[in-house]
């Protein structure tokens, strides 16, 4: 007899493990399968966590170079990259063990192996020793995430031609690094290696970085990154990437027809990620995919097969850990007969560079495109006392509010701790706040959050400190 479960979750990333825990909390007998021995998915093993660890260490290193200016004399600074990598691996280990503990605590049965459908109610789990276990399930939730995309004909070797995974594990600091794509991964990993000593070149197809971000913020972001030493090649299309024993050669052409060549020790290709469904055997059971290879679901995360659902990076929407988590909770609640729901209009996004960049809601470009009348409030960190006191006065807060109702429609921040500040605005927007609500809310002094209050005041041109 096969083990039988109410629900099987394939994938233990932030979508899968959160979903499995919520299902178990709701009283359903739950299995969670992952081909990785350590649960936590891309996010914990090769994504959010290791990248934020390296961003933090490299930022400390870069700040320490300037300690002398503020009166702290520490002598010659040295980098021990292997210790840095060990420290990063320790963070991954601690957090993945934490997820394993939570699954166990909630009585979720974790299986290590590749999950694939034998039928819509039968799942095979093949582990690395090639031993197969079969389980029966009433419902299945596919949370198999995504994988990096390369350029046509180029394979990642993770030594010279890197995806984010290779860029998180280099064993020496490259003298020169070329990054293709000025999105989340390119700019976070570019910041890491630039701070650790690499000459970083970013080649971007468009005429601006971070597509989709409010353009004013994006332009300011690029200005700041340039000052930090990152070199940008915009409007540039990569044509070939060749490698030999000592270097990688990238040929690209600019929009104006100019041809360019850059040589470097390594190249990071960060031009996006695609849904990963390779080993699930979806064809056999007839689960429909969309044109981009993502699993097609309805508003309740249900595929065209009635007992199979999908969430996270493997479906449409922003490829973000917290989006996957929200969907994980929602689908668990829907399967249990509750009213699960995700508000896609209010999903924050954060880039963990220095300064951080964070946003929630609509950009100015989107409001214009949708013919929405809006007011803009702005406040620079140069006028924020906390930012001035600690000498981190870069960036600004931008608030967009409906001209008629004053409801906040979008908030965009580039500045210190923007990733934490955005939470206040996310909550405010969930409650339908107006800019006046925020302007009349008491904010502690001296804090970075006062810049948010001032940006709200600035919507009616009544800011005090600028």
- Establish if 271 lies at the interface with ligand NAI (CB under 6 A): yes
Active site residues: 445
Greatest CA span in the chain, whole angstroms? 72
CA-CA-CA-CA dihedral for 38, 44, 47, 50, to nearest 10: -100
Residue of minimal Cβ distance to ligand NAI: 183
SS3 for 116-169, per residue? Answer: EEEECCEEEEECCCCCEEEEEEEEEEECCCEEECCCCCCCCCCCCEECHHHHCC
Give exposure, 69-91, as e/b (b: 16+ Cβ within 10 Å). eeeeeeeeeeeeeeebbeebeeb
Phi, psi of 437 (to 5 degrees): -55, -45
Pairwise CA distance, residues 115 & 111, whole Å: 9
Cis check for the bond before 355: say yes or no (omega within 30 of 0): yes
From 162, 196, 329, 350, residue interacting with ligand NAI (rule: CB under 6 A): 350
CB of 423 to ligand FAD, least distance (A): 13
Instruction: Compute how many residues bind ligand NAI; rule: CB under 6 A.
Output: 26
- Establish if 318 lies at the interface with ligand NAI (CB under 6 A): yes
| Residue placing its CB nearer to ligand FAD in the complex, 183 or 415 | 183
| Residue placing its CB nearer to ligand FAD in the complex, 56 or 87 | 56
CA within 13 Å, CB half, 175: 6
CB of 268 to ligand NAI, least distance (A): 9
- Establish if 204 lies at the interface with ligand NAI (CB under 6 A): yes
Query: Which of ligand FAD, ligand NAI, none is residue 33 near (CB under 5 to 8 Å by kind)?
Result: ligand FAD
Interactions with ligand FAD, residue window 180-199 (CB under 6 A): 185
- Establish if 188 lies at the interface with ligand NAI (CB under 6 A): yes
- Establish if 322 lies at the interface with ligand FAD (CB under 6 A): yes
| Residue placing its CB nearer to ligand NAI in the complex, 7 or 49 | 49
CB of 325 to ligand FAD, least distance (A): 8
203 DSSP β-pair partners: 180, 233
Q: Do 296 and 289 form a contact (C-beta atoms < 8 A)?
A: yes
- Establish if 265 lies at the interface with ligand NAI (CB under 6 A): no
Angstrom CA distances, 323 to 20, 38, 225, 316, stand at: 16, 21, 27, 11
From 65, 128, 211, 240, residue interacting with ligand NAI (rule: CB under 6 A): 211
| Residue placing its CB nearer to ligand FAD in the complex, 323 or 453 | 323
- Establish if 117 lies at the interface with ligand NAI (CB under 6 A): no
Pairwise CA distance, residues 128 & 149, whole Å: 25
CB of 289 to ligand FAD, least distance (A): 14
Residues 6 or more apart whose CB falls under 8 angstroms from that of 305 comprise 120, 285, 286, 287
Pairwise CA distance, residues 429 & 426, whole Å: 5
Place of tokens 């360019």: 260
Query: Which of ligand NAI, ligand FAD, none is residue 15 near (CB under 5 to 8 Å by kind)?
Result: ligand FAD
| Residue placing its CB nearer to ligand FAD in the complex, 116 or 191 | 116
The contact pattern for ligand FAD, residues 334-353, with x = CB under 6 A and - = no contact, is ------------------x-
- Establish if 41 lies at the interface with ligand FAD (CB under 6 A): yes
- Establish if 395 lies at the interface with ligand FAD (CB under 6 A): no
For ligand FAD, the binding residues (CB under 6 A) are 10-16, 33-36, 41-43, 47-48, 51, 114-116, 143-146, 164, 185, 276, 279-280, 312-313, 319-322, 324, 352
For ligand NAI, the binding residues (CB under 6 A) are 151, 180-186, 188, 203-206, 211, 237-238, 270-273, 318-320, 350-352
């Amino acid at each position: 007899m096969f083990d039988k479960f109410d629900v099987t979750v394939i994938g233990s990333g932030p979508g899968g493990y959160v979903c499995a825990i919520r299902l178990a909390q709701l009283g359903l007998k739950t299995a969670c399968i992952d081909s990785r021995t350590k649960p936590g998915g891309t996010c914990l093993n090769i994504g959010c966590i290791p990248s934020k660890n390296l961003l933090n260490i490299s930022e400390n290193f870069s700040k320490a170079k300037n300690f002398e200016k503020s009166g702290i004399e520490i002598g010659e600074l040295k980098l021990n990259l292997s210790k840095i990598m060990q420290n990063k691996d320790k963070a991954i280990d601690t957090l993945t063990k934490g997820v394993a503990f939570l699954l166990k605590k909630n009585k979720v049965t974790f299986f290590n192996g590749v999950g694939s459908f034998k039928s819509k109610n039968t799942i095979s789990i093949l582990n690395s020793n090639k031993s197969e276990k079969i389980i029966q399930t009433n419902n299945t939730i596919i949370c198999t995430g995504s994988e990096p995309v390369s350029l046509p004909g180029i394979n990642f070797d993770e030594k010279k031609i890197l995806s984010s995974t290779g860029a998180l594990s280099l064993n020496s600091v490259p003298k020169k690094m070329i990054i293709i794509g000025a999105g989340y991964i390119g700019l976070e990993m570019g910041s890491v290696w630039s701070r650790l000593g690499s000459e970083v070149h970013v080649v971007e197809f468009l005429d601006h970085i971070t597509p989709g971000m409010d353009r004013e913020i994006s332009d300011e972001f690029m200005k700041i990154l340039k000052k930090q030493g990152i070199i940008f090649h915009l409007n540039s299309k990569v044509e070939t990437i060749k490698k030999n024993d000592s270097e990688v050669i990238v040929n690209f052409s600019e929009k104006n027809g100019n041809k360019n060549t850059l040589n470097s020790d390594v190249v990071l290709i960060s031009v996006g990620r695609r849904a990963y469904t390779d080993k699930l055997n979806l064809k056999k059971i007839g689960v429909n995919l969309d044109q981009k290879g993502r699993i097609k679901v309805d508003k309740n995360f249900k595929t065209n097969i009635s007992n199979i659902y999908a969430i996270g990076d493997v479906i449409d929407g922003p490829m973000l850990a917290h989006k996957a988590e929200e969907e994980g909770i929602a689908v668990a609640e829907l399967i249990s007969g509750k009213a699960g729901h995700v508000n896609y209009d209010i999903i924050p996004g954060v880039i963990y560079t220095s300064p951080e960049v964070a946003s929630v809601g609509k950009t100015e470009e989107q409001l214009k495109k949708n013919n929405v009348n809006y007011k803009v409030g702005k406040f620079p960190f140069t006028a924020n006392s906390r930012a001035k006191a600690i000498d981190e006065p870069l960036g600004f807060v931008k608030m967009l509010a409906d001209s008629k109702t004053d409801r906040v429609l979008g908030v965009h921040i580039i500045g210190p701790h923007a990733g934490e500040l955005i939470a206040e605005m996310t909550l405010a927007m969930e409650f339908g706040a107006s800019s006046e609500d925020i302007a009349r809310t008491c904010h502690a002094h001296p804090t970075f959050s006062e810049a948010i209050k001032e940006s709200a005041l600035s919507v009616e041109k009544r800011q005090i400190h600028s």
